[in-house]
Structure 1
Amino acid sequence: MPVRLLRNTAMITNLFKFLVGTIGTVSICIIINKILNRIVLNSSTAQPWDWSKEIVLITGGSGGIGSEMVNKFSRRDIKVVTFDIHPPKSTLSANARFYKVDVTSPHSIHEAMEHVRREIGDPTILINNAGIALGKDILACAADQIRKMVEVNLLAHFWLVKELLPSMFKQNHGHVVTIASVASFITIASNIDYSCTKAGLVAFHEGLTQDLKHRYNARDVLTR
């Protein structure tokens, strides 16, 4: 019986990982489709969206979902900025720019944004996508690994939003996208730390939406 349970658990874990990957791929199309059609879905927008002038900032753009989003926006001739600690795995198109940034450091983010503003302009769309995973059970996770995951997967969202919101307020124009996960709602074995950070992102995004509406009256800075 223990062997059978172990095998079943392993099968469930593998199936979950497969589903997460599949959902992630489909999510890319859904996310970009929603962003590209936001003007239609939100008729209250004061300023129309001119995609020749928009600038999309994507964190974690050197691999996985982030890389796919960078490529898809680039193919639509939209200016893209990518922040990542690792360089891109392939050559970026002319309208995409990579900056090496430690998203866990507010100072690193601010320095990079100074360059972005001078060289390209203020991003009008922020896609907080950077994330890491360990896949270890709780006793196998070292304290510094857990801390790093929280910093990358959750706290970085705070630092990026705090850096970019002022310019969005000034333009009365912007969109913040938070990449969460099915792990926000379902926690499997050896995934506690990751699920905790993703559940935190749901709370972060919901709270940001409420702040924009009720504290800043920034109805044209969207989160959906």
Structure 2
Amino acid sequence: MDLKIWGCAVLFPVQILYCILKASVRWLLPCKRKDLGAEVVLITGGGRGIGRHLAKEFAKQGAKKVILWGRTEKCLKETCEEISMTGTECHYFVCDVGNREEVYQQAKVVREKVGDVTILINNAAVVHGKSLMNSDDDALLKTQHINTLGQFWTTKAFLPRMLELCNGHVVCINSILSLSSIPGAIDYCTSKASSFAFMESLTLGLLDCPGVGCTTVLPFHTDTEMFQGMRVRFPQLFPPLNPEIVAQRTVDAVRTNTAFVVLPWTMHILVILKSFLPQSALEEIYKFSGSYTCMNTFKGRT
């Protein structure tokens, strides 16, 4: 082993320690936040739920323009009007991100009518809440197209221009279920796990691209129409997240260039436990917490 390799081996633990200390200081002390005054934000699934709150929060934090994509024009129009009343320029386009051709076509329209997108929020998602045996193939494909492939297509449509401008941010509103699956939502958990792997790879791939970053948000189940009826055993200990809080934390993560956000912070414990507990112990945790049966009462929006 030559001297250079020995030098790298000696410096490696020092670099790791430095990164840990830097992250600790950043967590304890307020850090500089990016100004959003020149940013053009596009939010998929922007007509309702978390997407609607994200649009309001970006407008509140001073984004130059907000663009909404979604499948339901009524919701998009209502949200767009609400944002416009705050003084922020807002546009909406009906677009199903599960349709590749539609994504590329509408991306072209956005560039022509509004301008270059500098912050892309991949928020659109569906969940069917059925077991694999009870789900029809079309429903499974729909989930994969919207939750996973749609994110590929939107990123492919807007990221190249961000790289040219050396200014951009790609955000994925994912789920803690991408790291810890539950029964009764196999299509959702699988698609979100795939989405998480995509974002993790993309985040690493953009390390040497100045001005362009990524954020992956991993929330516990949120109090929106999508997860209506989902029940855990101890709701006082594990209450559903307020979508406004998710939106606020997401926008703050973009402004501070934070790569991964887990909500609430207690979900970190679950991820850690999964790394060393035997499967039998994890099964008992799922049963005790109610995660094993939480989708039995699901009746949310798909």
Shorter chain as denominator, the TM-score bin is 0.7 to 0.9
Amino acid at match of 1:222: G
Amino acid at match of 1:169: L
Instruction: Name the stretch that deviates more: 193-202 or 88-97.
Output: 88-97
Instruction: Give the alignment partner of residue 67 of structure 1, picking from 28, 52, 58.
Output: 52
Instruction: Give the alignment partner of residue 72 of structure 2, picking from 69, 82, 86.
Output: 86
Which residue of structure 2 lines up, in the alignment, with residue 202 of structure 1?
Answer: 196
Instruction: Give the alignment partner of residue 139 of structure 2, picking from 145, 154, 167.
Output: 145
Which residue of structure 2 lines up, in the alignment, with residue 4 of structure 1?
Answer: none
Task: Describe the shift of the 1:120–1:101 C-alpha distance in structure 2 as closer, same or farther (beyond 3 A).
Answer: same
Quick one: distance in 1 between partners of 2:210 and 2:201? 14
Secondary structure of 1:138's aligned partner: coil
Instruction: Give the alignment partner of residue 158 of structure 2, picking from 157, 161, 164.
Output: 164
Quick one: distance in 2 between partners of 1:172 and 1:138? 43
Secondary structure of 2:66's aligned partner: strand
Q: Any idea what the Cα deviations from partners look like across 1:134-171, whole Å, max 9, x if unmatched?
A: 11111110001001100000001110111111110110
TM-score for the superposition, normalised by structure 2 = 0.55
| 2:108 counterpart of 1:117 | no
CA offset at residue 52 of structure 1?
Answer: 2.5
Identity %: 33
- The 5-angstrom pairing of residues 1-224 of structure 1 reads 40=32, 50-78=35-63, 79-89=65-75, 90=78, 91-94=81-84, 95-213=89-207, 217-223=208-214, 224=259
Q: Any idea what the Cα deviations from partners look like across 1:4-42, whole Å, max 9, x if unmatched?
A: xxxxxxxxxxxxxxxxxxxxxxxxxxxxxxxxx98x36x
Quick one: distance in 2 between partners of 1:88 and 1:174? 29
Quick one: distance in 1 between partners of 2:74 and 2:39? 22
Corresponding pairs, count: 177
Amino acid at match of 2:45: G
User: Any conservation in 2 of the 1:70–1:96 contact (CA below 8 Å)?
Assistant: no
Rg bigger for which structure?
Answer: 2
Quick one: distance in 1 between partners of 2:133 and 2:126? 18
Amino acid at match of 1:191: A
Extract unaligned runs of 5+ from structure 2: 1-29, 215-258, 260-302
User: Any conservation in 2 of the 1:169–1:218 contact (CA below 8 Å)?
Assistant: yes
User: Any conservation in 2 of the 1:101–1:109 contact (CA below 8 Å)?
Assistant: yes
TM-score for the superposition, normalised by structure 1 = 0.74
Amino acid at match of 2:155: V
Quick one: distance in 2 between partners of 1:141 and 1:116? 35
Extract unaligned runs of 5+ from structure 1: 1-36, 42-48
User: Any conservation in 2 of the 1:61–1:88 contact (CA below 8 Å)?
Assistant: no
CA offset at residue 219 of structure 1?
Answer: 3.1
